[in-house]
A and B are shown apart, each in its own frame.
Chain A
Amino acid sequence: MESITGLLTKIFGDGMSPMALLISGGLTMALIMSLVMAMCAIVFTWMERKVAGFLQSRYGPMRVGGFHGVLQPVADMLKILGKEDIIPDEADKALFMLSPFVIFIGSLMAWAAIPFAPGFIASNLDLGLFYIFAVSSAAPAGILMAGWASNNKWALYGAARGAAQMVSYEIPLALAAIPVVMATGSLNMNAIVDAQGGGVLNWYIVHDPFLFLAFCLYFIASIAEVNRGPFDMPETESELVAGYHTEYTGMRFAFFFLAEYANLFLVSCIATAVFLGGWHPIAGPVFLPGLVFLIKAVILVFLQMLVRWTLPRLRVDQLMHTCWKVMVPLTLLCVLGSGIWMMVSGELL
């Protein structure tokens, strides 16, 4: 946020009070983040359809916008804006209307601590990583609200499955990031990225074998955390129709959609910052830090898409089995292993 406040000071001079500066800076940052989220949905829906098309030996969207259907997401967005907003008669109306925004806001808040470039972070919190994991826990609440309020049995199943899944997978997700915190000695996102400067060998993914394992576990858990195949339990379109958002239409559905893609990008951004050196390029000095960061994150998103369109879905009990009996012990092993590694190599004092 420093860069934003600095910019504002340049524009308006020193006449602004610190409070006004803080508020206007914050609002600007929130606006940027909302735009980033909206862009996520637009870019990644197009990308998802092209990746799916590529994998399935077809083209995907080709008409709207001339080149390879680049404007298809815009057309979709316009269409979804024009859709009728249906609230079922028997639904719990207040919860029904609220839940898309709960999920959306949970996702939006997490963006505040993502360091895109040096100084370009909405809030440079000392507990940044902890904060991200904490606020992203709002999503299960939103999913439960949506499923319950819809008064639809499929939605209820989707919500129950989704909440169970997300609550469970948060644990390996957070545990997988702990070795990094141990290595850095800080929860501050900027500090974590700064510690990985100076070439690919300083990135935490190659710091030690346990951290590499931790990255793999993080990647798997993150797919589950954002409810995408092969872990798309809350939706499971071939079993639960559309899961927790069966009854949603129009803009409310769009918010779920937006949040899904924003979350997809969010977990990739976290992985980039925590394991893949953030804005630091593979070698050489820092150059176009924002772009480097984005490229890394988009590659991770692409990998998630490849996984989604390749693998079948797990069953709900197999999903839980994977989480509690495989991933949680393995992440604990990572914490222990990289701790010993660091102690032996003398990093931990």
Chain B
Amino acid sequence: MSDTTVTHGWEHQDKPRVQQSELLEINMGPQHPATHGVLRLLVKTDGEIVQSVTPYLGYLHRCAEKIAEGCDWRQWMVYTDRFDYLAPMNMNFGYAVAVENMLEVEVPERAQYIRVICAELQRIASHLIAIGTFGLDMGAWTPLLYCFREREEILNIFERLSGGRMLYNYFDIGGVRFDAYDDFAEEVLFMVHVMEQKIVEYNTLLTYNKIFIERTADVGVIDAETCYAYGCTGPVLRGAGVPFDCRRDDPYSIYDRFEFEIPYGQGEQGTVGDCWDRYIVRMREMSESCRIIRQAVDGMPEGDFMSPDLKKLVKVPAGSLYTRTESSKGEIGFHIIADGGSKPFRNKVRSPSYSNLHVIEKVGPGMMISDLVATVGSLDIVLGEIDR
């Protein structure tokens, strides 16, 4: 229990009858079902009302940035997998693009298309987890299992592609590690076909459920200004009504060749920037990812999957560059400083969840415990990426 006291505003009465209650300090985590990993939120509550939220991080800190100093440029790709373990392809993509920008190497067309297909499939897989666990935070068990069912199909494709089901280490500097297998395109198109139908099913089951809307609309409102100030990106920023997406507004790889919409929150069920808006942005992004995948599969050429003019041991010229790409959680940035050697001098990872979680300190106070759980769920944090 803390010493902090709360007054209830009865002080103006003739006989001062100041009711004081102690704040209850309660640790949400590191072992707690609603924190999506080993996150500890120190919550001070007055009854059901949250007075302050302080996140404590670092339970999953693996010194990836220090390890980078001892790896060579290619080897560190493995560690990027482990940042956002729900979207390793997107993490791989970010790091590969970052190093390639500094090397100024030409990535073969076929590799570019495979990368985009993988990244978008991974975005769907990650969003499936996001909406599934978000539903679970609301007490809806069943959508989670449905989401996992479709995610399995995506993982099957990845398994055939890379050999891994969770951590792929598939992208490499200058291309991808293995060529796509023979019926890759058919499998992906079938998956997209299935996915587009399942999205309708999720909408019936969860999106427009009355209780779900009651629980998420007008809850945890994060407006655009707060997003800018706290560096929130991805679905959190788009949920706040800002149609910003690195894929379109700061294009990397070959995203400028595809046609797709940027869904953003419009306050259909409540205020712009509430939990429901963030949720629906993810839902619609999955459809858009399906669109991109269809176009990418159509345009995929034959050819090299790995840049032929790149040596095994990469040496990046000295310099510093911050490169950002759009992962499923938001803007994943790699700030890379090279000294011209075969090892990174400093790799700083600017992870989207790190900034997205920070905003909970701002929006948390004043909401109910249940809403805090809903809001943390709607931010879709992954602790591997926050703690690195």
Contacts and interface: CB of A to CB of B under 8 A. Distances in A.
Contacts of B21: none
Contacts of B371: 315
A316 B368 contact: yes
B211 A153 contact: no
A236 B139 CA distance: 7
Contacts of B137: 238-239
Contacts of B369: 157, 239
Nearest to A152: B26
A313 B139 contact: yes
A314 B24 CA distance: 23
A317 interface: yes
Nearest to A52: B141
B145 A238 contact: no
B252 interface: no
A56 B142 CA distance: 5
- Residue with the greatest number of chain A CB neighbours at <10 A, chosen from B205, B209, B211: B211
B223 to A, nearest CB: 22
Contact of B211 (A57, A154, A237, A313): A313
Given A237-B33, A239-B370, A314-B211, A57 B139 contact: no
A312 B138 contact: yes
Given A230-B211, A238-B34, A238-B139, A316 B48 contact: yes
Interface string B132-149: 000111111110011001
Contact of A309 (B138, B141, B215): B141
Report the contact-size class of chain B (Cβ under 8 Å from the partner): 20 to 34
Contact of A238 (B205, B211, B214, B373): B373
Contact of B140 (A241, A311, A315, A317): A311
A229 B139 contact: yes
B142 A310 contact: yes
Contact of B141 (A56, A154, A241): A56
A155 B72 CA distance: 50
Given A153-B26, A157-B369, A238-B33, A312 B145 contact: no
A149 to B, nearest CB: 17
- Residue with the greatest number of chain A CB neighbours at <10 A, chosen from B139, B205, B212: B139
Contacts of B141: 52, 56, 309
A318 interface: yes
B385 to A, nearest CB: 22
Contacts of A153: 24, 26
A57 B152 CA distance: 13
A232 interface: yes
> A-side binding surface: helix, strand, loop or mixed?
loop
Contacts of B205: 310
B165 interface: no
Interface residues of A, number: 26
A236 B370 CA distance: 9
Contact of B368 (A229, A241, A313, A317): A317
B33 to A, nearest CB: 5
Given A52-B141, A57-B146, A239-B369, A312 B34 contact: no
Interface string A305-334: 000011111111110000000000000000
A10 interface: no
Contacts of B138: 238, 312-313
A312 B146 contact: no
Contacts of A230: 139, 211
B63 to A, nearest CB: 30
A55 interface: yes
B102 interface: no
A83 interface: no
B380 to A, nearest CB: 15
Interface string A237-266: 111010000000000000000000000000
B275 to A, nearest CB: 12
Interface in A49-100: 52, 55-58
Contact of B33 (A241, A310, A313, A316): A241
Nearest to B374: A315
B26 A312 contact: no
Nearest to B35: A238
- Residue with the greatest number of chain B CB neighbours at <10 A, chosen from A238, A311, A314, A317: A238
Interface string A287-299: 0000000000000
A239 B206 CA distance: 19
B136 A238 contact: yes
- Residue with the greatest number of chain A CB neighbours at <10 A, chosen from B24, B140, B371: B140
Interface in B105-140: 135-140
Given A153-B26, A310-B205, 14 more contacts: A52-B142, A56-B145, A230-B139, A230-B211, A239-B369, A239-B370, A311-B209, A312-B140, A312-B211, A312-B212, A313-B215, A316-B368, A316-B370, A318-B215
Interface of A: 52, 55-58, 153-154, 157, 229-230, 232, 236-239, 241, 309-318
29 contacts: A52-B142, A56-B146, A57-B146, A57-B149, A58-B145, A153-B24, A154-B26, A157-B48, A230-B211, A232-B139, A237-B33, A238-B136, A238-B137, A238-B138, A238-B139, A238-B373, A239-B34, A239-B373, A309-B141, A311-B139, A312-B135, A312-B138, A312-B206, A312-B209, A312-B212, A313-B140, A314-B214, A316-B370, A318-B214
